[in-house]
Each structure stands twice: as C-alpha cells, then as structure tokens.
A and B are shown apart, each in its own frame.
Chain A
Amino acid sequence: MRDDHIIKMLEASAADRLSEAETAIIESHAARCPECERAYKAARISAALVRARASETVEATPFFKTRVMAALKERQTSPELPALVRMWKAAGSLVSVMAAMVLILIGLTFYTYSPDSQADISELTTGQSIYAPEYILFEEDEAVNDGLQYDEVLATFYEAGDADGQ
C-alpha cells in the first residue's frame, strides 16, 4: 500500500542524496509495495537525469568578449528614441482604441440629444418634475388650457376623486 511517508522522503531531497537510513526505510517498504517501488525507481531515474543535464555546460568561446563589446557599441551608437516615441510604441494601440471609444461615446451623446432631454435638464434647474400632475395640467400646453382657471380644474380633479372614493 502506498505510504505517504515514503513519498515525502522522496520529495524532500534528490533520490541519490538520501541517507543510508532513509534508503533502508524506503527499500524495505518498496520491497512489499509495488506503487512505492515504482515511485522510488522513478525518483532515482529523475535524479540521474537531472545530474546528466546539469553536467552539461556550454563554455564561452574566445570570441565571446569581442562579440559582447561589438553589441555594446552597436547599442550605444544606435540613436535612442525619445521617451514619448518609446511609450507610443509600447502603448500606441491601446491609446488608439481608447481614443476611438471616447469619440464613439461623444458621437452617441449628440446623436441621442432631444428636446425631452433638454426638458430633463431644465427640470434639474427649476426643481419641478415634468412628470408631476401639476406640471402636466398647468404648465404643459398652456395655450390649450388657457381657458380654464386653476380652481376650476382642481375642483374637477377632486370631485372625480371623491366620486371614485364613494
């Protein structure tokens, strides 16, 4: 049966650097546990692979120093772009998209402009709602309602209300 203790030991250090005591514990358990035996073998192979890879090191050629100095001179002589140009190169597309969005929003704002919206604005300044009954009765279309007196209208209005209440 898989023993987490064994697995943890295998993960705590490279399998080829386990102490003798640890190796003895692992091997004695692995002898009767196929799952841990497989993990142990894989851990040992992993360790061997890592060592083999680490043993490979590319060494610098005698010309490397010259190459670096040439690259350094090239960078020094190439004209350095101004900060704004560098910034534009890095974020130019993002800024363009943002500018386009702003223009679209401005366009939509003017396209949806209407007298009602103007009235909404004046409502804000006068403090009177254009949707209030009083506004509709007394303010809107004043030319049509000019013949009626305020008290006549109110009397009609409240009479109708009383009739409904009854």
Chain B
Amino acid sequence: MRPQARKPPGLPFWRLPSGAALAIEIEQASDLELVSLARGGDEQAFEEIVRRHSPRVFQVASRFFRQRAQVEEAAQEAFLRAYTQLSSYEGRGSFEGWLTRLTTNLCLNMVRSAKRRPESTVADLTDDESEWLENRMADASAARHLSSERSLVAADLAEKVLSLMSPDDRLVLTLIDGDEVSVKEVAEMTGWSESKVKTQAFRARRRMREAVEELLKPGRNV
C-alpha cells in the first residue's frame, strides 16, 4: 500500500519511490486505499478517485440534467461533497455505490429546488417532435429502432415530457425503464425501500403514459 511506500521508515532517500512509481502505485491502489489516503489530505489520491469515478458520477447526473454545464456542476459538487464526507464512508459497501448514492441524492435535491416548468403544451413541440409522435402513432413497434437523428428528436421530446414529472418519477423511469437498473439497485442508490421503488415506478409509468396520451389527443394536431 502506498503509505508504506511514501513513508518507509529508515529507507534512504535514493530508495524512495520516484514520482512515476508513485503514479503507478496510485493507479493500482484500491478504492479503500485511495479513500484512506485522501482522508489524510493526499490530493493525488483524491485526484485518482475523481478520475476513476467520473464516468459513473456523470452517468448519474446525466439522468437528471441534460445540459453539459449542469451535469458538470452537479458532478463537481458531488465530488466536493464526497471529499468532505469521506470520513463517513466506512468501507462496508463499494465506494462506487456510496458515491452513486451521494450523487443521486445531491441531484434529486438540486432538481427539487429548481423551478419546475408550469406546463407543457403542443405549442412547445417542434415540427420534428410532432412528426416523431405521428410516426410512432402509426407504427409504435418501430419505436425501439431509431436513427441517431430521430433519437435526438425523441430525447428532446422525452425531456419535455419528463420535465412535467416529479424528480422521483423521472429518476425511477430513466433508471428502471431506460437503463434497465434493477429495483434493488435503485433502492440502494436512493436509500428508498424496494417496495417504494416499485410503487414509484408504477405511478411514474402511469403519469408518463397519461402525459403522452395528452399529447396524442386529436385536438393537438399530432
């Protein structure tokens, strides 16, 4: 482990690990070792934590926010909080799980405190989005196979519909139905009970379906 390598008692200076060797050691250190070092104020160890877990933190934050600036802000705040709360990580579960939970709760609170869109109307839909809906109405079975351009239109439309829903609904839908995360994993991420996750998913699907039905009403010209 690195602390022994950095502070070898009695070792002469020419036998101390070089900078390159330290970097390799850091990269090979386990999460628990890195956390232990970062707690002691080792910035390189924390930097490695950020490098290693950025993809996961960004993935979670992307479920809540779509703009790069917002996602980066949430991810940065998650790492800063993680740094100040490292002492609360007891090493029982995986560090990634702990960090995921912290990020999820942080993002949930950020979305909850943000002002929600009052309502969405068909006037908010672009021509592309209306066309996408028309096509899906005609052939709903094609919905899974979308070109990248069509996917972008669908993602824009999804964002509009999801923004009408509560942060909790949005979270369970994107995780369970979008990312195919299990109920148990969502419960671990959020700290909710599994039954709460299931109930939330049921209700979220209903609300999402009703919102889409509203968009599909004949009077909406879709």
Label chain A's interface by main secondary structure.
Answer: helix
What 0/1 pattern do residues 56 to 79 of A give for CB contact below 8 A with B? 111111001101110110010000
Asked whether B154 lies within 8 Å of A49 as measured between CB atoms, the reply is yes
| Chain B contact surface mostly | helix
A-B contact count (CB 8 A): 145
Which of A11-19, A104-112, A154-162 lies at the interface with chain B?
A11-19
Give the segment of A39-47, A84-92, A138-146 that binds chain B.
Answer: A39-47
B178 CB → nearest A CB, Å: 3
B211 to chain A, nearest CB (A): 8
Chain A 30-42 per-residue mask, 1 if CB under 8 angstroms from chain B, else 0: 0000000011111
Count how many chain B residues have C-beta atoms less than 8 Å from C-beta atoms of the other chain.
56
A52 within 8 Å of B (CB atoms): yes
B174 within 8 A of A: yes
Residues of chain A having any CB pair with chain B under 8 Å:
10-14, 16-17, 38-61, 64-65, 67-69, 71-72, 75
B interface residues (Cβ-Cβ under 8 A, vs A):
43, 46-47, 50-51, 54-55, 57-59, 61-63, 65-66, 68, 71-72, 75-76, 79-80, 83, 133, 136-137, 140-141, 143-144, 146, 151, 154-155, 157-159, 161-162, 173-174, 176-179, 202-203, 205-206, 208-213, 216
